[in-house]
Amino acid sequence: EYIASEACPPEFWRSLGAAVQGFHDKGVYHADMNAYNLQIDGDGDLWMLDFDRGKLLPPGPWQQTTLNRLHRSLQKIVTLDPRLPFRLANWEQFLEGYFDAVRSE
């Protein structure tokens, strides 16, 4: 709903990537990482929902798997409604934020 309401600026996507990386850095594995389970509050902070199969894990391939799952979810949403303003450049900005946060640890 948040990304459907407006074209989000690059800073939003970078901060979202950094926030997801913050969860990953703490070992938070979300078994169903999709756009609907990421909620943005009025302050622009990220909240993850639906942790029924979540767990804490050491770093590993699961991190990339959850990123891939999120990307597929965003692509599917745009396929369902091509008017949504999510584009490849937004995903690249997300990844910039994610990997910049990794490098700044």
Residues serving a catalytic function are: 32
The conformation of residue 97, written as its DSSP 8-state character, comes to H
| Residue bearing tokens 């970078």 | 14
Q: Is 29 helix (H, G, I), strand (E, B) or coil?
A: strand
Contact 15, 97 (CB under 8 A): yes
CA 47 to chain centre: 10
Contact 41, 13 (CB under 8 A): no
Phi, psi (deg, nearest 5) at residue 88: -55, -40
